Amino acid sequence: MIMAISTKDIANKMFKYNKITKLWVTGLAVATLAGQALAEETLVVTASSNEDPTAPVKGIVATKTLSATKTAAGLVKTPQSVSVITRDQMAALDVTSVSQALRYSAGVFTEYRGSSNRNDEVFVRGFSYVPKYLDGLSYGATASSQTGTMDPWLLERVELVRGPASVLFGQVNPGGLISMTSKRPTSQPVHQIQFRTGNDNLAEGAFDVGGPLSDDGHLLYRLNGIARSQNSQVEDYKETRIAIAPALTWYPNDATRFTLLTSYQKDPDAGYRNFLPRYGTVNSVDGSYIPRDFNVSDPGYNQSWREQTLIGYEFEHQLNDMLTLRQNARYGTIKQKYRYLVYSNSAANSSVLSRRAQHEERQTDESITSLRRSSRPVSWRTPFSAAWTTKPARISSTSVAPAVHSTISTGVPRSMV
């Protein structure tokens, strides 16, 4: 079969081919130009090496730590495992205690007695009651003391240092330590106020203001406070707190900085702290379980109260380009009073708990001083610290009235849990 193709048909096909080719080339050129424009608008985000480990960090990722080496060292260059919980991360987690802020840190076990703001009891790498530090100084009198609790609203960040650190901090739990940093005055104005309500009749109000007090920026201030009231997860228990933290920074000259840090915190209802047995929680007792809000103690006898006052300062003076002198000190008083019926023991497969009365009163006065110096290019410092209790802690347990031991029934059908 022979097909005849005319000259006109060939011309039409060539015209269509040229038209398609032009459209394809034009589209390719437009795409190339768009790609170049897009490449020119691409933003490259890099982490700043000038991050101040005591200043606010935008976001949840910090690049420097102050606690691991007692210098502003990069996390990637620190030869120790360190986790940093920033202010933004604490806000995202909606925490009301330091132990809650550490919930998602590796190797950490918190709140083993339940959700309570009475004590920040934290286990790190299997070691219990790791010590706490506030602004580089021991907080709570002794390395094993759990007397003090800072509200996270007053803190800029919380750092967790894992592993032994006695070379830098002295008497420290082998599991690690918790280092807290207070909010400090900033050159940028801060104006924040918030009100919250929530589960368990939560009612909270907080504020945070700060910025320059002088036109030349040599005098800065920061003032933040919080008031909170919430029912505990345990029946007939309440947690209330008021706290305020004024701070002032003065720059006499470009080489000198003086920062005054103070705080006052009162917990009229400091929280619930008790135990429940294995039988009735893990294993049932005659098919029944203890409800999650069960109160081992007696609401008519319970009392949980704490008050603390802290005042300190940080001084820094750059002697020359090679040598900087830093010195900080703090005096604090922590008073607390607890009265409750604590779980004693229970027989296997028994729905009756044995309780004993306990009454504690403690007052701890501490004064701590630290002197440091550093030189460049090799950083070195000579730390000096001294801590003493001017009034020994008083602990007493009642054994007469009420009776040392009493019992309470826990048998509740599982459907009521």
- Cα separation of 357 and 406, whole Å? 8
pLDDT digits (tens, 9 = 90+) for 294-329: 888 887 888 888 999 999 999 999 888 778 888 888
DSSP per-residue letters across 112-181: TT-S-SS---EEETTBSS--EEETTEEESSSTT-------GGGEEEEEEEES--HHHHSS--TTEEEEEE
| CB of 149 closer than 8 Å to CB of 119 | yes
Q: Using alpha carbons only, give the angle 109, 110, 112 rounded to the nearest 5 degrees.
A: 100
Q: Using alpha carbons only, give the angle 325, 329, 332 rounded to the nearest 5 degrees.
A: 170
Closest C-alpha to 87, from 44, 111, 62, 56: 56
pLDDT of residue 267: 92
pLDDT digits (tens, 9 = 90+) for 89-111: 999 998 888 988 998 999 888 87
pTM here? 0.76
pLDDT digits (tens, 9 = 90+) for 136-165: 888 875 544 567 789 999 999 999 999 888
| CB of 74 closer than 8 Å to CB of 126 | no
Q: Which long-range contacts (CB under 8 A, 24 or more apart) does 210-213 make?
A: 210/183, 210/185, 210/186, 210/247, 211/185, 211/186, 211/187, 212/187
DSSP state of 292: T
pLDDT digits (tens, 9 = 90+) for 285-297: 777 888 888 888 8
CATH number for the domain formed by residue range(s) 64-181: 2.170.130.10
Report the run of H or E that residue 407 belongs to, with start and end. strand 405-409
**pLDDT, averaged across the chain:** 76
Q: What are the structure tokens assigned to 364, written together?
A: 């701890």
Q: Is the predicted pLDDT of residue 227 greater than 50, yes or no?
A: yes
Closest C-alpha to 158, from 175, 141, 133, 139: 133
Report the run of H or E that residue 101 belongs to, with start and end. helix 98-101
- Cα separation of 378 and 322, whole Å? 9
Exposure of 120 in the CB half-sphere (CA atoms within 13 A): 27
- Cα separation of 164 and 171, whole Å? 10
Between 124 and 144, whose confidence is greater? 124
- Cα separation of 412 and 293, whole Å? 12
